Structure 1
């Protein structure tokens, strides 16, 4: 039996205690509805003690969203690099990685989708640049698939964005106690993604 690639293996998110507390509060109440004092309390720290680690609530949001993008991009790169040269195999691997991330890291992914508006302009621009890097990875794979004949479609970027949007949307509704497990959901949504790009066969 072959070993499961590292990019498919998920444990608990490795977040410092203050960020874990901030994540829980932001997901429950929203960024603007959460006070620094509440985050400190959840983390078992005083407010000055929290500020020793993170100088502002904005810094905590940036820390969470940066950690999320770091992990997503790292897993996506590992997925693509391990898939070989076939555009279809690379597509399947990256889409599978996106789907798994948005299930197992649904709180972080949900935060990234809903609180981008709360980032200050420079922080937002940086985050969008990282997000666009992920999108360009998939765009390139789809373009390669058209060239190789693996995919049959005309609108590369539109199809690629549709696939990404579908994967990102999983974070909004997936629940671990749902009727289907992650592996079953991945197969269903991977099939949909293949149809979006006109995968041969």
Structure 2
């Protein structure tokens, strides 16, 4: 079976969405949504301020009244993505049972669902973060580090409790986090899977990566 890959034409089929109560209203929000679609389709470096302004229906000078630079637009999108991830992961841990299997399952599930719910935001957040200058990237990188620590702490707890058998915690965390990141590259309304189906399967994959008992996979 062919593995689906990200293609620019998917942008037309995937809703340009941001988390509720996060995106600013009015022109500022319209700029963010237009930029999100353009960055996902063409890549950050290929998109000009004039092109973003044209998509919104304003002049470049008007756009600069809302954002001082293209970097600031990207920085806000990247920070929105990382804030949403952090909120989902912390809420998932708080709601799950304290056992390591339940905690890991909750983390993986929410990580995957973020990428099915907001695939364009996830693509831009993960693929364009490197384009930001250090001072603009710092807030998102701090949140990313915190999220990574949540996963590592859960894996360490599972090993300590004897329910996970994993030789290298860092590599295990990279494998688990990396497979969720790829969901945004192919998931869309034309796929034959629901978000819950994808999340449930990825939870099982993650539990296999850490060597959880077969009973935990049912």
Q: Secondary structure at the match of 1:32?
A: helix
Structure 2 runs not aligned, ≥5 long: 1-16, 24-28
> Where do 4+ consecutive residues of structure 1 move more than 4 Å?
none
Alpha-carbon RMSD across the aligned residues, in angstroms, is 1.5
Deviation at 1:68, TM superposition (A): 0.7
Match for residue 17 of structure 1 among 25, 30, 40: 30
Deviation at 1:72, TM superposition (A): 0.8
Task: Work out whether 1:60 is the aligned partner of 2:60.
Answer: no
1:155 and 1:114 map into 2 onto residues whose CA distance is: 26
More deviation, 127-136/163-172: 127-136
Deviation at 1:152, TM superposition (A): 1.6
* Structure 2 length-normalised TM: 0.83
Given that 2:172 and 2:210 are in contact with CA atoms closer than 8 Å, whether structure 1 keeps it comes out as yes
**What per-residue deviation string (whole Å, max 9, x for no partner) do you get for residues 11-41 of structure 1?**
x424311101110111111111111111112
More deviation, 116-125/17-26: 116-125
2:182 is aligned to 169
Structure 1 runs not aligned, ≥5 long: 1-11
1:130 is aligned to 143
1:181 and 1:85 map into 2 onto residues whose CA distance is: 27
**What per-residue deviation string (whole Å, max 9, x for no partner) do you get for residues 37-96 of structure 1?**
111121222222211111110000000000110111001100011103111111111100
Task: Work out whether 1:192 is the aligned partner of 2:205.
Answer: yes
Given that 1:151 and 1:198 are in contact with CA atoms closer than 8 Å, whether structure 2 keeps it comes out as yes
2:109 is aligned to 96
1:79 and 1:130 map into 2 onto residues whose CA distance is: 16
1:182 is aligned to 195
Task: Work out whether 1:46 is the aligned partner of 2:46.
Answer: no
Task: Work out whether 1:71 is the aligned partner of 2:95.
Answer: no
Q: Secondary structure at the match of 1:53?
A: coil
